[in-house]
Structure 1
């Protein structure tokens, strides 16, 4: 419900006394609906996963204020997978067999999601997930992505970036690609490498590092020597920040640097992060915030993130993907009027679901729909969409 609708309901209640709300909006009763998941609350992915934890807490709080699900209060059980896919698999087994949760919500990051997907398939459970980066690996029929990459992101996402750069007065002619071997990051970087070649960009450097690496000095030196017009950084969490800091130590600033999945808050807060490019599905500015649902979520997240001391209190791609996943789960339960996983899956496949990032469909390959990715840039300490122009922040344009 929008804030205006809430005020209206309050005013009606004050004027007319004890007016009954719709059944779904009454106080929940009975046994809670238990939703289980894991998140990387510790380990190298924790900087981003903590955002997903806060979003889940906000959504469940608001959901219970709206009457819960099927008239029952919602309880979220979240366990720490420590950024380890193998541990995530074990914990999802526990959630299904020992904790006997009613529904599942996906963890953060591709490796852990793939582990959770295997467990969900074993027990015929719906798995809605928010940050899976390799659609071709999503073989399970009852998994649903909130991360709207489309079925072929290695092509479509890369083309979006190069389309934007080609439209500039001095488009890049050379490219350096440095990337983590983290599965989804590596997959996307290899896709970008192929598209760059097809577009005629000269590759002056290609380097890889093992996930968990913390020594970016040698990589920074190689990038500086290569002198690329465009630096593609296949990073996740704080890796991009560490590489930028290493380049600063040798007095080097890349002309244009694109990041795949940086930790959003730390990147905006770092001076070296200025003008960084990255992918997004939602940012805290019009036209994304034009809907009442999005505006209300932004206000709640801002308040709660500041209280929690998160590095960035604004809503961006990670928070929006997490919120979307919860919207999908709620829509599936309400639409099917059931907690039965097969009925929820059938409803999601047959219907388009309105979310804060747009209307999503799940009738494409691997249950993926359209590629809704946009390109954003750090400008003035904030992420602002710069491409496509129809989604750009007011007055924002790409700045090299």
Structure 2
């Protein structure tokens, strides 16, 4: 094509490419030369594997899609990855091996803050562009200019993360006056709890219980008993998958009640946990990143989910794909577009491209600030409603994970009280 393409023209082409890639369609010239190697670690075992394995499958779907469309810069792409076992201590060695031994051309992150932060010193030292997945303001301490983070939490997680939970609670009658907070002593959860404290002050709500528990905790009964004794109107948990299950099971066994319960829980989004808890999820108000509601449809999302679910069924993997997979595919779309805009594998050029223009993706148009966070945070809070039994098919349909916040995506009304009547 001769001449200079306008920004509008580029955006339209990028959107078309995003939709085409998600659908796995398109006829293109076969890639030539050596493949472009993209290296990363991923939790394929350990506590975070329930999100890591689906994320990897989404990335593999993207690799198939882009190779079917002619590759990246006219070359095929190849994913080079290792299991970090959900252990941050393994991460620096993996990225050193990827760069020194495997000689990868590009790098992306593992899943989650605990596995992104340990990679950052290696990435910065080598001057690599870096697109990360579901970190929580990981770059705040590093202030590295060559990164973009695929996570809706935004730059002010310690303020904004819990905002939706408290905005929803404002609609309760009478207005809630007391709050209990409990969460895992880890970076993500501590930031979530800090946000809950900040929002409680803003809304004039008194905190009657506040505790961070160690990662070794397996018995959550003492925490739930203490919260029950405090009799709060609101309960805000900030937890990772294993402890989310433990907290909800303890809440059920000890008959913990509240006007609203949930918060920053990572776990209910995981397919296996949805199947395990079933109707126990009803009325839980929980942070999330995507829900299959009619208010949250973007070009390419449905086509991607069809592709992902077919691949997951063939491999015997988790088949919902509603949490990490859409964001993992968007992670690869952002990397693809940044490389294309840079026109080469020059890391400085790719890093600069991450901050110049918007990126059309299957989770909507994304724009990153100079820290690599979304210019506009998009923490959504959903409520599980009408869950019956343990059939996963119900979670693919609208109305089961009703979006209550933010207002532009709201798809239903709050059902007060936990547990569900």
* Counterpart check, 1:104 vs 2:95: no
Partner residue, 1:68: 71
Cα distance change, pair 207–367 in 1 and its aligned pair in 2 (3 A): closer
Aligned residues: 382
Q: Whose relative contact order is higher, 1 or 2, with alpha carbons under 8 Å and at least 6 apart?
A: 2
Aligned-residue offset at 1:308:
4.0
Partner residue, 1:277: 285
User: What secondary structure, in the 3-state scheme, does the structure 1 residue paired with 2:111 have?
Assistant: coil
Mean Cα displacement is larger for which, 53-62 or 173-182?
A: 53-62
Aligned-residue offset at 1:315:
3.5
CA distance in 2, matches of 1:67, 1:261: 40
* Counterpart check, 1:347 vs 2:343: no
What's the TM-score, normalizing by structure 2? 0.84
What's the TM-score, normalizing by structure 1? 0.89
Partner residue, 2:189: 185
CA distance in 2, matches of 1:303, 1:237: 25
User: What secondary structure, in the 3-state scheme, does the structure 2 residue paired with 1:149 have?
Assistant: coil
Cα distance change, pair 281–139 in 1 and its aligned pair in 2 (3 A): same
Judge conservation of contact 1:138–1:366 (CA < 8 Å) in 2.
no
Aligned-residue offset at 1:267:
4.3
User: What secondary structure, in the 3-state scheme, does the structure 2 residue paired with 1:86 have?
Assistant: helix
CA distance in 2, matches of 1:30, 1:325: 25
CA distance in 2, matches of 1:6, 1:81: 30
Show the 5 A alignment for 1:147-158.
147-158=151-162
CA distance in 2, matches of 1:200, 1:309: 49
CA distance in 1, matches of 2:167, 2:286: 14
Q: 1:386 aligns with which of 404, 408, 411?
A: 404
* Counterpart check, 1:295 vs 2:311: no
User: What secondary structure, in the 3-state scheme, does the structure 2 residue paired with 1:141 have?
Assistant: coil
Show the 5 A alignment for 1:14-93.
25-93=28-96
Partner residue, 2:392: none
> What are the superposed Cα offsets for residues 309-362 of structure 1, whole Å, 9 maximum, x if unpaired?
445x32333222212211110111111121111111121211111122322222
Show the 5 A alignment for 1:1-400.
1=17, 2=19, 25-135=28-138, 136-263=140-267, 264=269, 265-269=271-275, 270=277, 271-291=279-299, 293-310=300-317, 313-365=319-371, 368-381=374-387, 382=395, 383-393=401-411, 396-400=412-416
Aligned-residue offset at 1:117:
1.4
> What are the superposed Cα offsets for residues 43-78 of structure 1, whole Å, 9 maximum, x if unpaired?
111122122112111111112111111111111111
Aligned-residue offset at 1:138:
4.5
Cα distance change, pair 319–384 in 1 and its aligned pair in 2 (3 A): farther
CA RMSD of aligned residues (A): 2.3
